Structure 1
Amino acid sequence: MTGSPPDQHHAQHAALRAEHGPDVRAWQLYDWLAARLGADRTQARWPGDPPLTGYGPIAATGSVVGAVGAGHTVAAGTPLVAGGQDAYLAFWAGGLDRPGRAMDPGGRTGGLAVAVPAGSPAADAYALPAAVPGVDIVGGPVAAHGLMLEWLRDLTGRTVPELLALAAKVPPGARGVLVLPYLEGERAPRWNRELRGEVLGLTSAAGPGELARAVLECTSYGLAHIAKGLTAQGVRLDTLVCAGSPARSPLWCSIKAAVLGVPVEVPAETDLAAYGAALAAGAGARWWPAPGAGRAGDWPRPAMTVIEPEPHPEYRDGLRRFLSLGDAAESWLSDLTNATTTPDPSEEPTCPTR
């Protein structure tokens, strides 16, 4: 699916109306759940997000939208608070409240989000306001960083902890093995759904450890690829917050620090989307400001462990190869597409002569 997030919501609503009739009511999942518990019909929107047509009245993230009714496992009368998209909540929890702070939200996909001054030339249709006025968040999602390790787990029959332990025994550079993590195509910064994953540099000596190390490194190169484009637009990146299940691997976080050349902060609570939901609940209880109404440092953050970058020449060479091989994959794919859609004049049939 393409287009801005509101475009995607409206396209999904249109598809449901076409299938089930014009009376289909559109909900965001968290709004539907709140309504099931007793809230009024609303659409929770992060500050600055455009409204969604047909999704109900707007309720700002962190505002009270009702109370739990009778007959639920949650105590009756418990206030219900408007939430937000998981990425927005994670950025709030991770403290992307001043320019230069960045985050990889982790999960099966991942990506890079960086806080910039509002109005930065790097802001595009996917920029969103940070929790602090005057700060925007830019960057882009990737398609399959976390999924790459799950794919290798299923392929080898080893658990993720076993693969991480094997990867730790392999030196930087994965002994020449390099992976392009395009199992599901790629989103930022290539935006090419036709790309596919590749494993390069295999020899008979390569085993699961080399493959696992190459997966950890290639996902870090993918973040660096996004950062490279942002840097060209004047974006400064001085700290990366790692979240989600990948943040539970010190090795993976240290590789990201080394490749990007910045300190990595690892939260004690890696599920920052859930932590952000708790911040929204606290805003509803008036323990602290709602997003858009506070200043940097107004909200409690999880405790962070800092991993300092340890650059390595193998990573510098690996990033260069990653970018070059990714460009070559796109070029090859373009040539193949043109070859299959454009007939060769030398092979066109001719009319037989009498």
Structure 2
Amino acid sequence: MPIPGLVGVDVGTSSSKGVLVGPDGAILRSATRAHTVERPAPGHVEMDADVWWDELVEIVAELTADLAPGAARGADVPAGLEVAAVGVSGMGPCVLLTDEAGVPVRPAILYGVDTRATQQIEELDAALGRATILDRCGSALSSQAAGPKFAWVRQHEPATWARARRIFMPASYLAFRLTGAYVLDHHSASQSTPLYDPRTHHWIDEWVDVVAPGIELPELRWPGETAGVTRDPLAGIPAGTPVVAGTIDAWSEAVSVDATHVGDLMLMYGTTMFLVATVAEPLRSETMWSTVGAFPGTHNLAGGMATSGAITSWLRDLTGADYTDLLAQATASGPGANGLLMLPYLAGERTPVQDPDARGVLAGLTLSHTRGDLYRAALEATAFGVRHNVETLRTAGADTSRVVAVGGGTQGGLWTQVVSDVTGLTQVIPTRTIGASYGAARLAAGLVSDHEHEHEHPIDVTAWNPPARLVEPDPALRTTYDELYALYRDLYPATSAVVHALARRTTTDPTSLEGATA
């Protein structure tokens, strides 16, 4: 019998990644394609959807070329392995508008880092009622919500809107190009506020007519359900291979580390910091994002910082030092960064501040401070931001009894330790932290029928990614970080009027994340 292999591909902010995974969860191969986003105006962050598809094709070719019939196989792939299913995920919520044939009519507008639709948020709040939106959708409108961005295109690009018939996000667009199926997963739909009702799991038709008139809405599926099967062979993936509907990358990250149970909190260390708490019942929050989960019957309360790893990349480029040196110097700097305190709002801030005009602040700077102090202050700033988010989640009713960390930032050691010391949380670091592409492959594993492979090559995803280590807080630092966190919370209201005035004067785009790593 053939050995079932899984392919997972994820489109992120700064790169696309893919993995070829065996039935036991082992990553046999991985591939990455770096890319950049476009910023045609301040606060506008866009990307050409053709890049998503082209990179998927390149990644799949790299992962599976020698799996095609008759090809000589590499030693890293077991004899008999065949791609049995494909998983997809991507950044979001994004707004990609296409014509009725699925051809994009403009570049995709990206998630909360794109802050263009502030006026449309105000208009929709006035038209539909802010409290009504919160009650029905679970979340207030913000730069993260897809709905106001539809309204922005309709108002500012009427000729483009007149050609638009369908809406996609990166995962659903890849699934469409592979299968021809026009579907969107329930989780992504729940971030399309105010178009989706998370209690009924249906589109809100009367609000769709207000926000996105003339758009044919996609059929809704759960992320792990089949979107369709591949229409054509693609490298080593044969025609007729099932493809999942997929979902937004952070939720795929949570799947990758099995952080999808009530009480779980996933921390994603990447270009931005993302938090996903799984809760027993739908919660409402003015400043966080209430969504449905990756699986039927699950609910989440989530948050995201606008920058985290992006700040460390910025400091690396600014100082000319490499990460190894910066980490060593930050370690030597010690808790409190020798009197430096930073607000990490270098691209505005999403949750819980919800202020696109927030800016970074570095307080306490003297001539004696070093780049190690700056780097330590940046790590501590992101940790204070995590603590602010976690406290807000808990105030809204989320239990966070188990914390699982994922993403490239988990590898250095110091960053995760600082987060644990600041928050008091113990973090589980799983064996594999590659992230969303691995979660997409894990979703795809559910499409492989159990009975087909149950005798020789069973797939048991519960055994795929066991814990590798724990990061526990140092109790000796609790008082120090409690005092610094109180100062951190005071710093934003104390400086917001000044930074808002400065934001109005600048000609640079605060959302630029060039050079940042996912």
Report the TM range for the smaller structure's normalisation: 0.7 to 0.9
Inter-partner Cα distance in structure 1 for 2:371 and 2:271: 20
* Rounded Cα–Cα distance in structure 1 between residues aligned with 2:300 and 2:275: 10
Q: Distance in 1 between matches of 2:362 and 2:158?
A: 42
> Which residue is 1:349 aligned to?
none
Q: 1:277 aligns with which of 427, 440, 453?
A: 440
Q: Which residue of 2 aligns with 1:128?
A: 291
Residue 450 of structure 2 corresponds to residue 309 of structure 1: no
Match of 2:77 in 1: none
1:104 equivalent in alignment to 2:245: no
Is the CA contact (8 Å cut-off) linking 1:279 and 1:299 kept in structure 2? no
What is the CA–CA distance in structure 1 between the aligned matches of 2:373 and 2:163, rounded to whole Å?
54
CA displacement 1:195-246 (0-9 Å, x = unmatched): 1111111222211111111111110000111122233334332332222221
Cα deviation, residue 21, structure 1: 5.5
Matches within 5 A, 1:59-138: 59-70=221-232, 72-77=234-239, 78-120=241-283, 126-131=289-294, 135-138=298-301
Which of 481, 492, 497 does residue 326 from structure 1 map onto?
A: 492
Give the Cα separation in 1 of the matches to 2:388 and 2:306.
14
What is the alpha-carbon distance in structure 1 between the residues aligned to residue 253 and residue 317 of structure 2? 28
By how many angstroms is 1:106 displaced?
2.1
Q: Which letter does structure 2 place at the counterpart of 1:26?
A: I
The within-5 A match list for 1:192-203 is 192-203=355-366
Give distance in 1, aligned partners of 2:353 and 2:408.
25
Please give the alpha-carbon distance, in whole angstroms, between the structure 2 residues aligned to 1:23 and 1:299. Answer: 45
Secondary structure of the corresponding residue to residue 112 of structure 1: strand
Q: Which moved more, 1:172-181 or 1:116-125?
A: 116-125
CA drift of 1:29 comes to 2.4
* 1:283-309 deviation per Cα after TM superposition (whole angstroms, max 9, x unaligned): 222459xxxxxxxx9744523221111
CA contact (8 A) 1:68 1:74 kept: no
Instruction: Give the residue type in structure 2 aligned to 1:308.
Output: E
Does the C-alpha gap of structure 1 residues 91 and 238 become closer, same or farther in structure 2, counting only changes over 3 Å?
A: same
Higher strand share: 2
Q: CA–CA distance in 2 between the matches of 1:301 and 1:128?
A: 26
- Assess, with a 3 A threshold, how the Cα gap between structure 1 residues 31 and 143 changes in structure 2: closer, same or farther: same
Match of 2:168 in 1: 27
4+ residue runs over 6 A deviation: none
Greater mean alpha carbon deviation, residues 268-277 or residues 151-160: 268-277
Q: CA deviation at 1:152?
A: 0.5
The alignment-based identity, stated in percent, is 27
Question: C-alpha root-mean-square deviation of aligned residues, in Å?
Answer: 3.0
Change (3 A) 1:195 1:70: closer
Take 2:282 and 2:429, find their aligned partners in 1: how far apart are those partners? 29
Q: Are residue 186 (structure 1) and residue 349 (structure 2) matched? A: yes
- The structure with more radius of gyration: 1
| Alpha-carbon distance in structure 2 between the residues aligned to 1:176 and 1:69 | 60
Q: CA offset at residue 63 of structure 1? A: 2.2
Amino acid corresponding to residue 28 of structure 1 in structure 2: M
Which residue matches 2:219? 57
Which letter does structure 2 place at the counterpart of 1:195? A
> What is the alpha-carbon distance in structure 1 between the residues aligned to residue 441 and residue 419 of structure 2?
28
Mapped contact 2:282–2:290 kept (Cα < 8 A): no
Moved more, 158-167 or 128-137: 128-137
- Give the conservation status (yes or no) of the 8 Å contact 1:43–1:59: yes
Query: 1:228-279: CA deviations, max 9, x gaps?
Result: 2233334332332222221112111111111111111122222321122012
Q: Is this contact kept in 2: 1:17–1:23, CA < 8 A?
A: no
> How far off its partner does 1:90 sit?
1.6
Measure, in 1, the Cα distance between the counterparts of 2:368 and 2:161. Answer: 59
Cα separation, 2, equivalents of 1:100 and 1:44: 27
Question: Quick check: 1:18 aligned with 2:158?
Answer: yes
What corresponds to 1:293 in structure 2?
none
**Would you say 1:7 and 2:171 are equivalent positions?**
no
User: In 1, Cα distance between the equivalents of 2:185 and 2:408?
Assistant: 26
Matched position secondary structure for 1:169? helix
Amino acid at match of 1:20: T
- Whether contact under 8 Å (1:82, 1:280) holds in the other structure is no
Alpha-carbon distance between aligned partners in 2 of 1:134 and 1:32, rounded to the nearest angstrom: 25
CA pair 8-221 structure 1, distance change in 2 beyond 3 A: same
CA distance in 1, matches of 2:157, 2:232: 32
SS at match of 1:105: strand
**Pairwise CA distance, 1:122:** 5.1
Deviation per CA, 1:314-335: give whole Å up to 9, x if none.
222221111111221225456x
Name the CA distance, whole Å, in 1 between partners of 2:370 and 2:349.
26
Aligned to 2:409: 246
* Cα pair distance change 1:197/1:21, threshold 3 Å: closer
Task: Report if aligned partners of 1:95, 1:301 keep a CA contact under 8 Å in 2.
Answer: no
Is 1:175 the counterpart of 2:341? The answer is no
In 1, the alpha carbon distance for the partners of 2:216 and 2:370 equals 53
TM-score normalized by structure 1? 0.82
1:83-132 superposed Cα distances (whole Å, 9 cap, x missing partner): 11112212233333333321222221113322222134559882122345
SS in 1 for 2:269: coil
Change (3 A) 1:238 1:260: farther
Structure 1 residues 124, 147: CA separation in 2 closer, same or farther (over 3 Å shift)?
closer
Contact 1:110 1:145 in 2 (8 A): yes
> Match for residue 425 of structure 2?
262
Deviations 1:128-186 (A, max 9, x none): 22345554211311111111111101110112232122212221111111111111111
Change (3 A) 1:119 1:83: closer
Aligned length: 329
Return the alpha-carbon distance in structure 2 between the equivalents of residues 283 and 268 of structure 1. 21
